[in-house]
Amino acid sequence: MIDLIIGIVGMTFILVAFILDEFIQKFNQNTIQYNLINIIGAGLLTYYAFSLNSWPFLILNIVWLVVAGFKLTRIIRD
């Protein structure tokens, strides 16, 4: 049950970031907040995918996590 809750929370983080990016101009892919929300969401979904032993879902979320991490690093450095 806890795995399902973690998955739902992770999904919610990813969807919130996406929706805010679509409708709020100041909240976009070049903000720290957007990328942090994606990192948290992808991290939670990575755990959930691992618990399900779902390799495609696991790989997708690891890539999502790494890309958001690189983007966040670039934003902080610049």
Q: What is the pLDDT of residues 4-50, one digit of tens each?
A: 999 999 999 999 999 999 999 889 999 999 999 999 999 999 999 99
Residue 61 has pLDDT above 90, yes or no: yes
Terminal Cα distance for the chain, rounded: 41
Are 39 and 66 in contact by the 8 Å Cβ rule? The answer is no
pTM for the predicted model, two decimal places: 0.92
